[in-house]
């Protein structure tokens, strides 16, 4: 039996631990483990290699993905999917594990419909915005990167009696900003999912400053830099002119994608991959493709249609925790 693994879309910490576990576990089960480099683009171009222990030695602690990633417009065209399938046939590969988001899963689902290649998708995105799962690989590391940066920025803000506006990633989902605001003790949290009242926030902050507050931490989601809500630059201007406190902005950007994977992300990567391999070995993918999710502290497999059936929503109890800092 031969199984290949690939990473697609945005990278995240935890992908390398998943790749290492994939190779090690496959060898323990007498399965030939193949690595597909450069995501869907590499699949099209046949950048496929039979893995060795040397390929994955010492990568457990590394962020990103050793086999690299990509986004591919070519994969939308049948002729390029056919080209990819022909390369897989050369290695007798008919099973793939893909780490990525729902777009990557849809691409592999179409690939299965075209050519019957069986696959399991592992949710891997720091935005944590895939419907059906409570957790996506890489989220814990990203949150810890944000926590470390926020704690450091707070130190200098307190030293100068400043406000700081920290922008996290989250183009369409405010999960990172929300959890970071709660766990870092922010005074303001601005995300698309929560209604907020700047007038009420302003009154609260002015009262707190008058009573001795020395600094303000505001965490805002990247997705707010649109017509949805107040952007990072607008918040800086509001804090300086309406609240009357010197303010600096910190846009964390892609630093959130990298970093040394946390213990939790390493453990989850190993579990995700192990269950995915076992499912492919047992030929339990009745429809040819499924996604492994983590729900209520348990792993289960769901269909691609289920993952795509609804838009992800942040848990209501988490939103409730942040309501005191949006008014």
Mean pLDDT of the chain: 95
Asked if pLDDT for residue 286 goes beyond 70, the answer is no
Q: Where are the alpha helices (DSSP H) in the chain?
A: 15-28, 39-45, 53-56, 78-90, 102-115, 139-160, 175-184, 198-210, 232-238, 263-281, 304-307, 316-321
When pLDDT is averaged across residues 265-290 and rounded to a whole number, the result is 90
> In whole angstroms, what is the distance from residue 307 CA to residue 292 CA?
10
Predicted structure pTM score: 0.95
Do domains 2-138+261-307 and 141-257 share one topology? The answer is: yes
Higher pLDDT, 236 or 288: 236
Choosing from 127, 129, 140, 265, the catalytic residue is 127
For residue 7, the model assigns a pLDDT of 98
User: 124 with 101: CB under 8 angstroms?
Assistant: yes
CATH architecture assigned to 2-138+261-307: 3-Layer(aba) Sandwich (3.40)
User: 32 with 26: CB under 8 angstroms?
Assistant: yes
pLDDT class for 284, splitting at 50, 70, 90?
low
- Which residue(s) pair with 14 in the sheet? none
% of the chain at pLDDT higher than 90:
94
Task: Give the single-character DSSP code of 168.
Answer: E
CA angle, residues 300, 305, 306, in degrees to nearest 5: 45
For residue 227, the model assigns a pLDDT of 56
Q: Spell out the domain ranges in the chain.
A: 2-138+261-307, 141-257
For residue 89, the model assigns a pLDDT of 98
CATH topology of domain 141-257: Rossmann fold (3.40.50)
When pLDDT is averaged across residues 90-119 and rounded to a whole number, the result is 96
pLDDT class for 288, splitting at 50, 70, 90?
confident
**Does the annotation mark 127 as catalytic?**
yes
Report CA-CA distances (Å) from 4 to 7, 39, 89, 122: 11, 11, 12, 13
- Which residue(s) pair with 165 in the sheet? 218, 249
% of the chain at pLDDT higher than 70:
98
For residue 223, the model assigns a pLDDT of 82
Asked if pLDDT for residue 47 goes beyond 60, the answer is yes
- Specify the residue for token string 């406190």: 245
When pLDDT is averaged across residues 294-321 and rounded to a whole number, the result is 95
When pLDDT is averaged across residues 72-87 and rounded to a whole number, the result is 98
């Amino acid at each position: 039996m031969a199984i290949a693994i690939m990473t697609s879309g945005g990278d995240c910490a935890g992908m390398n631990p998943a790749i290492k576990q994939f190779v090690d576990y496959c060898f323990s089960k007498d399965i030939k483990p193949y690595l597909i480099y450069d995501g869907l683009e590499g699949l099209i171009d046949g950048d496929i290699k039979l893995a060795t222990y040397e390929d994955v030695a010492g990568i457990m602690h590394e962020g990103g993905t050793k086999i690299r990633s990509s986004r591919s417009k070519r994969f939308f065209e049948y002729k390029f999917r056919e080209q990819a399938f022909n390369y897989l046939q050369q290695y007798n590969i008919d099973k793939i594990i893909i780490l990525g988001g729902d777009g990557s899963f849809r691409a592999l689902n179409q690939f299965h419909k075209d050519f019957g290649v069986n696959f399991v998708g592992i949710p891997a995105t720091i935005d944590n915005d895939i419907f059906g799962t409570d957790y996506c690989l890489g989220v814990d590391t990203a949150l810890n990167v944000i926590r470390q940066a926020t704690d450091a920025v707070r130190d200098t803000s307190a030293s100068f009696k400043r406000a700081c506006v920290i922008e996290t990633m989250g183009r369409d989902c405010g999960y990172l900003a929300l959890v970071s605001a709660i766990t870092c003790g922010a005074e303001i949290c601005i995300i698309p999912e929560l209604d907020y009242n700047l007038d009420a926030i302003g009154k609260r902050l002015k009262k707190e400053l008058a009573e001795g507050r020395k600094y303000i931490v505001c965490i805002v989601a990247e997705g707010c830099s649109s017509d949805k809500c107040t952007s990072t630059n607008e918040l800086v201007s509001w804090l300086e002119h309406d609240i009357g406190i010197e303010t600096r902005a910190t846009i964390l950007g892609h630093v959130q994608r990298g970093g040394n994977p946390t213990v939790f992300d390493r453990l989850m990567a190993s579990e995700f991959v192990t269950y995915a391999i076992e499912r492919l070995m047992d030929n339990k993918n009745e429809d040819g493709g499924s996604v492994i999710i983590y729900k209520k502290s348990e792993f289960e497999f769901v269909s691609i249609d289920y993952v795509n059936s609804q838009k992800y929503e942040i848990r209501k109890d988490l939103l409730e925790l942040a309501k005191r800092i949006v008014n």
